[in-house]
Amino acid sequence: MMTILFMKRTLLASIFAFALFLVSPQPLQASTQQAVFAGGCFWCLEHDLEGLRGVKSVESGYTGGDLLNPSYSNHKGHQEAVSVTFDPEKISYKKLLRVFWRNIDPLDGDGQFCDRGDSYRPVIFTLDESQRNDAIISSELAALELDKSIESLKVDFQDLNKFWIAEDYHQDFATRNNIKYKFYRYSCGRDDRLEELWGERARSAQQWPN
């Protein structure tokens, strides 16, 4: 009799534990991370990065300056930038850096392509020491690939302060305004310059050459 009672209690406990497992929230498979880059027009950089496997979202915005609540008409001191939310189990920060470098002209610190001025200068905004170290190493590898001195690269490294999301009409601009975007990108000479600089590796995530 005692054996049967013990078995019933054990069975009920097992059923209860299994039911609790079913209703309890399960941990996410992987936490997401953030990367922030400025590389000229945020329409272009957003479009260049959002199709990568492992990238969850890319938002256009402003960062780098002190002005509160910047807007497209007034973001003095800020750069046009993108905030990338990514799954580090599917794409690494180092890979994002390779794609970033090969989508900009790192020799131009006064703007990017046809867009001139401080708002468009290239910057890697880092969230912690690990990102900063990876960014610095990536600049050395980019210089080697371009066969340029590290001093000739004009990409800055800054700690991220606050990222201000741009107006809604700037988000997914390339998708929502495809013809206008393609005309702008072509007339700006962005892809021609990228291919001149990076050759067949332009816009790619390929490993740095040995």
Annotated catalytic residues are 41
Residue 87: exposed, middle, or buried by beta-carbon count in 10 A (0-12, 13-18, 19+)?
middle
d(CA 17, CA 73): 58
Of 114, 118, 93, 117, nearest in space to 36 by CA: 93
Q: Which residues contact 33 (CB under 8 A, 6 or more apart)?
A: 85, 86, 87, 88, 93
CB–CB of 120/190 below 8 Å?
no
SS3 118: helix
Of 34, 68, 43, nearest in space to 120 by CA: 43
